[in-house]
Amino acid sequence: MCNKFIWLAVVSSALLAAPAAILADQPQAQMAYQMPMANKALLTDIVAVPGSALVAIGERGHILVSHDANTWQQATVPVQANLNSVYFISKQQGWAVGHDASILRTLDGGLSWQLQHFAPETDKPLFDVYFSDAQNGIAVGAYGLFYRTVDGGQNWSKEFHPELLSEDDQDYLAELKDTDPELFEIELGAILPHFNRLYADGNVLYLAGEAGFVAKSTDLGLSWSKLDEFYNGSLFDITRSAQMSLIAVGLRGNAFKSTDQGLTWQQLELTETATFNSAFSDAAGRLYLVGNAGSLLVSYDDGDTFVDKSQANGKAIVNGVVWQDKLVLVTESGVTTIKLTELE
């Protein structure tokens, strides 16, 4: 089972100027098939829409909506790309992103979706999306792929953030710009690490990614500050616990905690060796780490100790959410629900 983030923009000016016959050869988005067993297929993210429903997304453009975590209705989706992340700004309005640099929006709580951005020629997936309000949002992905909208997604512009590079890489790009403009353009699309996960902590945005990359922004990603590296492997999620610690998780069972806003990090003492895909908390103060091989760890003391509730079926767990009296997980074989009383 491949990790969600290991699966591996705006149309260029040359393409915009291309003849209609050439444009006609470009891949076109296709409607996702309605599949009776979509809730048993690979799902990659899930959110609880406040006061409304659960929305889960996954492979082949599958988006599912449930009001009870038991029965699921497949939404109408205009793309068959694998989807990686979903985010709602209100009960009705949300966005989902995925492969082919696909960006989708819903205005009816997830029942139907409209395609706002589709660029298969980039050959890069988007891994996460965040909106601070109904107009302003960003989407991030492989090799530093970064899009911004200021009009609710009607238009998306690509951004490049050199401050996220090392000083050596910044100098290298500056030299290339003068000596080899063609290679410079190529390197712009390859030199940054994969951006795997965004996390909004009040007015601060955190960005976690490949090779121990972590950065934060106080202006909705207009500018970034890299945090000192504390791990040389990929990080797939970053979140804040109920006790206000920052938690970062990644490859091979590695997990870290910071109690000083990311200035220093301590590795959590775990026996797990499977990759962690996500970390999240609930209102009762529980911290959950979920990952490959059915990994499910639960902490009641801010990550100092964990109870191993890993699933015997060994199916990769990609993400989850606590909803009412259940822990609802999305996995490589669909939705799994666990009563919270079973975790005690």
Please write the tens of the pLDDT for every residue from 30-48.
999 999 999 999 999 999 9
Over residues 304-324, the mean pLDDT reads 96
Given the structure tokens 């889960």, which residue do they identify? Answer: 56
Residue with tokens 């979920």: 290
Summarize the confidence of residues 115-133 as an average pLDDT.
97
pLDDT at residue 50, rounded to an integer: 83
Q: Indicate the Cα dihedral angle 290, 292, 296, 301, nearest 10°.
A: -50
Per-position DSSP letters for 230-272, written without gaps between them = --SS-EEEEEE-TTS-EEEEEGGG-EEEESSTTSS-EE-----
pLDDT tens per residue, range 176-195: 999 999 999 999 999 999 99
pLDDT tier, 52 (very low <50, low <70, confident <90, very high otherwise): confident
Which of 104, 90, 100 has its CA nearest to residue 47? Answer: 90
* Mean pLDDT of the residues in the chain: 92
Enumerate long-range contacts of 340-344, CB under 8 Å, 24 or more apart: 340/284, 342/309, 343/286, 343/298, 343/307, 343/309
Max distance between CA atoms of the chain, in angstroms, equals 64
Class of domain 13-23+41-343: mainly beta
Through-space distance between the first and last CA atoms of the chain, rounded to whole angstroms = 29
Write down the residue that tokens 């792929």 correspond to. 145
Taking alpha carbons only, the member of 174, 231, 191, 182 closest to residue 208 is 231
Domain ranges of the chain: 13-23+41-343
- pLDDT score for 214: 97
pLDDT of 16 above 70: no
